[in-house]
């Protein structure tokens, strides 16, 4: 089966970087990432229990101190007062955050299937993205 999705360029770069670090093709990396979704567990558990578990997994799993540092460094970058070392740290933190976003999208997809809702509706309902008018 073939599936085409549009991702922010930063997510694509993060996925490509992870695939490269593991020494596999991007398609293989993404396929492996998505195939790790435990779909058999969803059919065995009640909907409410499964939905709660998915909502927990959808939370952004980035350490609060990393987010704080990311925002601090972003402000320095925007004000053009960032050092080379800080810029490298900002790029590394950006990769961590983008990978966390990419990781949690599989749980958002499962939640949309479970609720029988479109992915966009679930994303909007969870406040992960504003609807473009």
Residues in Cβ contact with 15 at an 8 Å cutoff, skipping those fewer than 6 apart: 7, 26, 29, 30, 99, 102
Residue 133 has a pLDDT of: 35
Residue 40 has a pLDDT of: 60
**Number of domains into which the chain is organized:** 1
**Residue 84 within a domain:** no
**Residue 76 within a domain:** no
**Residue 22 within a domain:** yes
Structural domain for 55, as ranges: 9-62+93-125
Give, for all 133 residues of the chain, the pLDDT tens digit: 677 777 788 888 888 888 888 888 888 888 887 777 666 655 555 666 688 889 988 887 888 899 999 999 999 999 999 999 999 999 999 999 988 888 888 899 999 999 999 988 998 888 886 544 3
Residue 132 has a pLDDT of: 40
């Amino acid at each position: 089966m073939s599936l085409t999705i549009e991702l922010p360029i930063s997510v694509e770069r993060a996925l490509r970087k992870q695939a490269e670090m593991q020494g596999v093709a991007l398609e293989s990396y993404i396929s492996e990432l998505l195939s790790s979704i435990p779909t058999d567990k969803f059919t065995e558990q009640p909907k409410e229990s499964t939905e709660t578990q998915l909502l927990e997994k959808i939370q952004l799993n980035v350490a609060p101190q990393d987010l704080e540092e990311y925002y601090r460094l972003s402000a320095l970058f925007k004000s053009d007062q960032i050092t080379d070392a800080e810029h490298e740290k900002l790029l590394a933190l950006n990769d961590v955050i983008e990978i966390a976003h990419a990781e949690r999208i599989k749980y958002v997809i499962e939640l949309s299937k479970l609720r029988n809702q479109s992915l966009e509706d679930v994303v909007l309902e969870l406040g992960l993205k504003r609807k473009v008018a």
